[in-house]
Structure 1
Amino acid sequence: MLNRRKMLQAVAGGAGAALGLPAASQTAQGAIASSGGPKRIIFFMQNQGFDPATCIPKSMTGSGSLANKTLPEPISPLEKYKERLHIINGLHGMHTTPSHSAFFGALGGYRGGDGVPPSAATIDYQLSKVLPETMLPHLCIGMDSIENMTSKPTIANLSASGAGQPIFMHSNPNHLYQMLYGGISSGDIRRQHEARSNVLNQIEQLAAAKGNSLPKSDGQRYGQYVQGFRDANGLRDRLDSVSDHLREFAPKVDERYTNPEFETDWHDCLLDLGISSITSGITNTLTIGSGRGEIFGAWKGLDIDQQGHNLGHMKQPDNPIWIKIRQYNSRMLVRIMEALDSVPEGSGSMMDNTLIVYTSNNADKQHTSGNNWPVMLLGNCGGIFKSGCFTQVEGKRPINSLYATLLNVAGQNVDRFNMSDQMAKKFDDSTGPLKEILA
């Protein structure tokens, strides 16, 4: 396992400089090593809100242990893992103006909205810069109706690498499989991978040549376009260089990819690919957007006829439709944990060094002011986070304070995340990490 990690980090390090990808600083790496902080973080964002009544045991009115409590039906698949679970209630995101969705603001902790570009990097990307370096710093996958995933195989609504720099979610598992594992495949997948690679190489060369004749004012913007092709081509080369290692982790391609009966078939395929990207060491930061950060989404494979905006107008507690959706999410979380538990790392498993953050891109419900933003954490990263408990946050603390906490435990000493002192005076009663969730 150590040899595998060293190999992947060496490959990533050599390519990272060429791509201009930020390497984790020695200070941050040292903090991670000494504190037992996270080596990887997974964000799971379910649209239409996360009603606290669907995750907080009914008998709990204040902070306390979950040991003798029964989890609510919507998250019942997590019952056997509740000693690793931390439910947090009382954070807010009023400054993100969520309404139907906070879009980039959900992970950015700033004002979001339909068509509003990101104003800064989101927490998932920011963490990918601090965590141990990998070949692909950050992967984002998005689940939706089969029609939307087919017509829009990539979409950007949740993650960003900076102001005006969205990160695309992959929603077609066939395309994502080609990107990650095309170099080790055979038959049609290999032929498509090689054909696509040749086209992308040619586009990069042509685009770079054409860009030289542009005015300076347009050259910088066009340069980002060219760099996108360079990044894609560079990632493919890096993955090809460790193809023997990747064979061990590549999911099996079956009819769910090419002939899905329901969109949930593609959801499951995307989750498999996301898990494999983590367990293989391709990436250290995974963002899963169920509903892709919008008000859409469908779950016909769960015998749910309603979809999209209509789901948001239904109250979630005791609603059989939302129980199915939330249980489906919870089973996905269990699959992630079981996969990471099965891979040895150090004296334990990969899950021992992983944090999963489950919440919504829309606070507690679809039409919301954002005054309550429930979150569930899975994993304690070597005892850094409290687990097996429920925390009711007292006072006015924004979701930004949670994100600042994640950066701190990953080795970056920050008091705030994407919040100026002026904003903090209005929306935050304190500063620094959320001490209530740390062990």
Structure 2
Amino acid sequence: MLNRRNMLRTMAAGVGAACTSSLLPQHLLASPTSKTTPKRVIFFMQNQGFDPKTCIPEGMSSSSSLAKAKLPEPIKALEPYKERLHIINGLHGLHTSPSHSAFFGALGGYRGSDGVPPSASTIDYELSKVLPKTLLPHLCIGMDSIENMTTKPTIATLSASGAGQPIFMHSNPNHLYQMLYGGISTGDIRLQHEAKSNMLNQIEKLAAAKGQSLPTADRQRYNQYVRGFENVNGLRDRLDTVSDHLRKFAPKVDERYTKPEFETDWHDVLLDLGISALTSGITNTLTIGSGRGEIFGAWKGLGIEQQGHNLGHMEQPDNPIWIKIRQYNSRMLVRIMEALESVPEGSGTMMDNTVIVYTSNNADKQHTNGANWPVMLLGNFDGTLKTGCFTQLNHKRPINALYTSLLRAAGQNVDRFNMNDKLARKYDTATGPLKEIMT
């Protein structure tokens, strides 16, 4: 296994020569005997709904241990990891009006719809602010059909840093690889990286100069675009300072990037890039959008010819198509866990300090009212969350309560997330985290 502590301490020293301390992952600077523990969170959002019958063991209707239970076929890949698993049924998202998708509302816990901008930040972004600082605070990747990922390589539907401030997800692995690892590449990838870097630097300068001549109202809006270029260029510069470290984690580029046979080839390498960003320490918050928060999606590489909206009109339990999709997702979850388990951290491994949140951006099914929103958690987040069990709730608490729980587990003392008292009186019967999932 890689000795991550030594490599990352070296990386931190390199970054310190070029960056302010606010850009440093603080835990990388801690001494080997420090009691502070890094944490990370991964959100895996499947579109078209998450039917509880595809994850709850047969005959299990009340809260109990998973130790002697047999997991359903769609998630059977998680059987060896039952002690790390927590299946939660009975949360709701009635106030999000999910229908085809709650879009930003799925992770924001507020009303969302197609084409409607976010009304507040989402939980993944808020957690990225609470967790130790990293070079890239938050990474979003989106998986879809080859056509959609090619024509719209970036899209914003799930994550946001505030009201009207969407966070874009990356869907073309070639572009994402170049962003993360272009500085350490050779050949055409390196040439493209340098050309794009020069272009973006020039655009930033021109945009900044042009914005000064605009009226005040337009200048403020225009400056948001300028800051976008600043962020991209700043990230590239920061990554360049730790190039020796990144070489140890960069995935190998093969024909799945440049000549994918199916969209699942791109799904797989996008996951590789997401995992490498976590294990290298580039980020500690990863959001995966399978279907990219919309009503589309394709899995021809699994032998599934149907795609898009039609998949949402199929019953998921005992459906061979949805069994294949859910099993594919479960194998992805296993890949994440195995990768994090292979990297030492503190007295254990990276997985010991991680939680994976698996759910859907539109509750239990397509055309849902959000009355039931199943969730699976993997990992105990440094001992702050219960695992190895199934919890049946009474549909009285919203997904916001789960997000409050995650913030509490990350060390943020909050009682609600994106829910004021007026909304809570209608949609929540309690305050604070879900006591059923906290240790």
Measured in 1, the distance between the counterparts of 2:176 and 2:75 equals 29
2:149 is matched with 149
Measured in 1, the distance between the counterparts of 2:349 and 2:83 equals 16
2:377 is matched with 377
Verify the 8 A CA contact 2:128 2:138 in the aligned structure 1: yes
Q: How far does residue 395 in structure 1 lie from its aligned partner after superposition? A: 5.3
Indicate yes or no: 2:220 matched with 1:220.
yes
1:2 is matched with 5
Q: How far does residue 2 in structure 1 lie from its aligned partner after superposition? A: 2.8
1:241 is matched with 241
Change (3 A) 1:249 1:151: same
Measured in 1, the distance between the counterparts of 2:23 and 2:405 equals 21
Measured in 1, the distance between the counterparts of 2:373 and 2:12 equals 36
**Structure 2 counterparts to residues 114-125 of structure 1, below 5 A:** 114-125=114-125
1:78 is matched with 78
1:48 is matched with 48
2:67 is matched with 67
Measured in 2, the distance between the counterparts of 1:257 and 1:8 equals 28
What is the root-mean-square deviation in Å for CA atoms of aligned residues? 1.9
- The code of the aligned residue for 2:118 comes to P
Ranges in structure 1 where 5+ consecutive residues have no aligned partner? none
Change (3 A) 1:97 1:195: same
Measured in 1, the distance between the counterparts of 2:15 and 2:104 equals 27
Q: How far does residue 195 in structure 1 lie from its aligned partner after superposition? A: 0.4
1:421 is matched with 421
Verify the 8 A CA contact 1:128 1:285 in the aligned structure 2: yes
Q: How far does residue 25 in structure 1 lie from its aligned partner after superposition? A: 9.8
Measured in 2, the distance between the counterparts of 1:10 and 1:88 equals 42
So what's the TM-score if we normalise by structure 2?
0.95
- Three-state SS of the structure 2 residue aligned to 1:234 is helix
Change (3 A) 1:357 1:253: same
- Three-state SS of the structure 2 residue aligned to 1:177 is helix
Q: Could you list the per-position Cα deviations for residues 175-221 of structure 1 after superposition, in whole angstroms to 9, with x for gaps in the alignment?
A: 00000000000000000000000000000000000011011001111
Measured in 2, the distance between the counterparts of 1:15 and 1:369 equals 50
Verify the 8 A CA contact 1:9 1:135 in the aligned structure 2: no
Q: Percent identity?
A: 77
Change (3 A) 1:230 1:303: same
Q: Could you list the per-position Cα deviations for residues 47-97 of structure 1 after superposition, in whole angstroms to 9, with x for gaps in the alignment?
A: 000000000001201000011110000000000111100000000000000
Change (3 A) 1:411 1:304: same
Measured in 2, the distance between the counterparts of 1:35 and 1:56 equals 35
Q: Could you list the per-position Cα deviations for residues 148-198 of structure 1 after superposition, in whole angstroms to 9, with x for gaps in the alignment?
A: 000000000000000000000100000000000000000000000000000
Q: How far does residue 11 in structure 1 lie from its aligned partner after superposition? A: 6.4
- The code of the aligned residue for 1:278 comes to L
- Three-state SS of the structure 2 residue aligned to 1:69 is coil
Measured in 1, the distance between the counterparts of 2:12 and 2:128 equals 14
Aligned residues: 431
- Three-state SS of the structure 2 residue aligned to 1:376 is strand
Change (3 A) 1:346 1:24: closer
**Structure 2 counterparts to residues 154-169 of structure 1, below 5 A:** 154-169=154-169
Measured in 2, the distance between the counterparts of 1:22 and 1:251 equals 24
Measured in 2, the distance between the counterparts of 1:35 and 1:136 equals 21
**Structure 2 counterparts to residues 277-316 of structure 1, below 5 A:** 277-316=277-316
Change (3 A) 1:180 1:22: closer
Verify the 8 A CA contact 1:416 1:432 in the aligned structure 2: yes
Indicate yes or no: 2:210 matched with 1:210.
yes
Verify the 8 A CA contact 1:54 1:317 in the aligned structure 2: yes
**Is 6-15 or 254-263 further displaced after alignment?**
6-15
- The code of the aligned residue for 2:232 comes to A
2:352 is matched with 352
Ranges in structure 2 where 5+ consecutive residues have no aligned partner? none
Measured in 2, the distance between the counterparts of 1:140 and 1:426 equals 32
1:104 is matched with 104
